[in-house]
Amino acid sequence: MKRREFITRGSLGALGLSIGDISVAASAGNQTTDKRRKILISGGGLNKSFINYLIKLTGKKKPRVCFLPTAAADDPRVALYWYQLCAGLDMVPFVQNMFITSYYMKESFEDVLLSMDGIVVGGGNTLNMLAIWKAQGIDKVLYRAWEKGIVLSGGSAGSLCWFEEGTTDSRPKELTKIECLGFLEGSHSPHYDGEEERRPRYHQLIRSGELKPGYAVDNNAAILFIDRKVSKVIASDKNSNAYYIEMVDGKIRESVLKPDVIL
């Protein structure tokens, strides 16, 4: 398998790093057998415990897992952190940038992403990420990946993107509503315990009817959806939870979804 740098030399080249090794041919015989549609969302950023959990969800001994740093504008420091987290895990990690050039990337985005067993979306500006994905057709590729049984995952922008809608800090001044991919029904608020404005603003938007009922998740908690339904809630510490927020008899009801703590 040949190793090939698939990003422009001006990004990670300055750090002497090569991100990639995405060879579509290398995926031969590594097809996903579990066709259930799985999405693992967490409230915060990248988390080694959740990456390890995703590996198990693929059902593969050494799955190919690709990280999309689009929301962070393909920041090479985020890509480096991804590789550091994956060190020692039973997986083959990749990074796929969106800020590319045809001179250095010869496979299509579709060929690359559909050759994976798992896809993890990083945090950052959700609004900008979705706009780039739409321009490049990534939204349609990710839907195909989901339908194929490739495990989708992410935290922050990488969790928000899968829902119909939610709250985002991608615009100036305040948290606002954003419409997303709609793979999962309802709304979502990440960083529920990590940012002071998240909880009251999410309640306010649901109370007003601007947002549908939905799921709020603390930074160190995660929810696994299988075929659009909650299958399991996990956390990497005993103080983090997930929640379902809805209006009942004219009042906000916050139901705690207690997690299993994993290491």
List residues with catalytic annotation: 156, 191
Strands 163-168 and 260-261: unpaired
